[in-house]
Structure 1
Amino acid sequence: SEDAALYEKIIALTGTSAEEPSQDTPSDVPAQETVPAVQTTGALTETETRPAPAGNMEPVKEGRMRNINISPSGIIGALKCMLSFFTIIRINVDEKDMEAMDQNFWLAPVIGLVTGIVGFIACLIFALAGLSNILVPIVAIASVYIFSKFLHFDGLADFGDGMIVSSGNKEDHVRALKDSRVGAGGLGVALTVVLLTLLSYMEFDAIFGMPIHNWTFMIGVPMAVLSIEVLVKYSQVVAATFGNPGNGMASNQVRNTDMNSLILSSVLTLILLAITTVIGWAMIRYSSLGAVPIPGWHIGLMFVMGFVMAAVVGVLMAHISNKNFGFVNGDVLGATNEISRCAILLVTLLIEGFIMTW
């Protein structure tokens, strides 16, 4: 009969009876499931077998590739791909570069430094021209947005739509997050974050704006942009570390970013912050013709608190996204970039305000 023939095929293929468990697989061992390879950028991840999750266990990051590729070719390939993807700079990349980016997302603060340098130069030009302290902060935001192709701003708007959903149903949150149309939630969140960022940059000029020779050199915004863009990319790494991977373009970056990646990124970020701290202190010293009105430890304290705030925002964004969407995707990482910038500015201003008041 057909059933008997099917039964024989099963035995021939598996070497076991369809009714009795294999001797190699005792009945008291949990069922195994094979995690399929994931392909988002042309690079296949390695499959792995793990026990099926039971109950309400948190999902684990499955199908990892080699977590980190710190070889020179891996680092160079990752930076090339990040520059091409996260900025307006066009570079020819191949599948190896894409795979290297997925494995080395901890290098994102380097892209933040490049973005910060672009914003720093743009602000410096307008500041040295003696333009108003309203225009320079606008240039700071516009230059960063243009250089990053408004990529993270788009993620912020999508994240706002996904969060401002009347029902608590996870499917509704995900549907709103992935909807290409921008709703009231996305518009409201984006406007709030941008306006707070703009006003915070203006306050930096009010605190750190000083004359330099015959120019009115507003050093606050250029100095802030240089450091903050490093910190916001670090915040993305933190969010990727604690986030659950989805199935979009950023899934492999989130999947392969673990505590080892976070440690490397933390060390890298602190080194870059030390460099920008020295630059900021030197700018203040030169602009005040040798009389430093703000001690160097003030600048260092603000950058340290900015580092802590970037980590806090990254953890919170991962927690909120895991709870409401079930994952951290590219939109969430973009929103983390924008929200952490605003939060870091506000916190550093509060700290400096208390120090100057007391």
Structure 2
Amino acid sequence: MRRGLSARLRESLAGFRSLLTFLTIIPAGGEFNLAPRHFYWTPLIGLIEGLLSTPPLLISRPIGVALAVALMYIINGFQHMDGFLDFGEVLLTGRRGEEAVRVLKDPHRGAFALALGLIDLVLVYSSVSSMGKVAMVTLPIAESSAAYAMFMTAHLGKPGESGVGKLFVMGSKGGVNLALSTIIYLVSTAAVPLIYHWDLPTLILLVPVSLLTAIVVALLVTRLSNLRLGFVNGDVLGFSFESSKVTLLVIYSIMIYAASLS
């Protein structure tokens, strides 16, 4: 019994390393085939991405924020932004079915995708900038929440017929994977504010807002993907991540501004 549990734990940790290698530029090692089966680790990986992005916030605000935002995209190798642009263009063109799939697979960026990417960058930069040093806490939480939304989109979505995204969608199924990812996400979300000694009322407000936003974005993206494409693939997962992140950063900045007025 103990030996079996130890073997499962070693495999889970190996899966975490594989997923970290696949989702980021961090060379953690591991075999790719383990990554989809342990997709539930993704909220912790999002938290790590966010924590690694925050050090520049300690220097002067304009350049510090710019460097932090740049690090966010560099650390994950622009994977999520790529999906955000591809599926965002599908939504903006209004195409469905096979026509939508052709737009999704078109390697050339259209005006819709470029405009959407610019809007995303402006909102992310302005939100982080408006929060000042508080972003040291909110940025990792936003990244972890975005990763959880990506997992939920995979869990709720229909897999495509082929592609790497299909492996992650299939790997996210099952109640055990959902429970594991949710627990990892909630612990990740609560850990950072506690480290920075945030008060309990703020924590009680922050966790439900983050969780609810991640779930709503996942439900909405899954619905849109089913209507437009008929399935969820890697680009849709990237769109879910980036949409959830920018939404939460905007919400956090509004909450902080409202708190400053009281």
Q: TM-score under structure 1 normalisation?
A: 0.67
Aligned residue pairs, count: 254
Task: Supply the distance in 2 between the matched residues of 1:351 and 1:225 (Cα, whole angstroms).
Answer: 14
> Could you tell me which of 220, 245, 249 is aligned with 1:341?
245
Q: TM-score under structure 2 normalisation?
A: 0.89
Q: Partner of 1:321 in structure 2?
A: 225
Percent same amino acid at aligned positions? 26
Give the number of the structure whose residues are more often helix, by fraction. Answer: 2
- CA-to-aligned-CA distance 1:182-202 (integer Å, 9 cap, x gap): 111211111111111111111
1:83 aligns with 2:20: yes
- Structure 1 stretches of 5 or more lacking a match? 1-69, 206-218, 283-294
Structure 1 pair 92/223, CA: closer, same or farther in 2 (3 Å)?
closer
Task: Supply the distance in 1 between the matched residues of 2:138 and 2:96 (Cα, whole angstroms).
Answer: 40
Query: Match of 1:134, SS?
Result: helix
RMSD: 1.9
Q: Partner of 1:254 in structure 2?
A: 169
Determine which structure has greater relative contact order: mean sequence separation of CA pairs < 8 Å that are 6+ residues apart, divided by chain length: 2
CA shift at 1:171, angstroms? 1.1
Counterparts of 1:100-249 in structure 2 under 5 Å?
A: 100-123=34-57, 127=58, 129=59, 131=60, 133-166=61-94, 168-205=95-132, 219-246=133-160, 247-249=162-164
Give the number of the structure whose residues are more often strand, by fraction. Answer: 1
Task: Supply the distance in 1 between the matched residues of 2:55 and 2:260 (Cα, whole angstroms).
Answer: 28
1:116, 1:226 within 8 Å by CA — same for their partners in 2? yes
- CA-to-aligned-CA distance 1:260-305 (integer Å, 9 cap, x gap): 12222111111111211212335xxxxxxxxxxxx54124412331
> Could you tell me which of 274, 285, 310 is aligned with 2:190?
274
CA shift at 1:136, angstroms? 2.2
Query: Match of 1:281, SS?
Result: coil
1:305, 1:348 within 8 Å by CA — same for their partners in 2? no
Query: Match of 1:90, SS?
Result: coil
Task: Supply the distance in 2 between the matched residues of 1:122 and 1:245 (Cα, whole angstroms).
Answer: 38
Runs of 4+ in 1 over 6 A off after TM superposition: none
Task: Supply the distance in 2 between the matched residues of 1:281 and 1:233 (Cα, whole angstroms).
Answer: 24
Task: Supply the distance in 2 between the matched residues of 1:82 and 1:138 (Cα, whole angstroms).
Answer: 27
Task: Supply the distance in 2 between the matched residues of 1:324 and 1:271 (Cα, whole angstroms).
Answer: 34
CA shift at 1:169, angstroms? 3.4
2:138, 2:252 within 8 Å by CA — same for their partners in 1? no
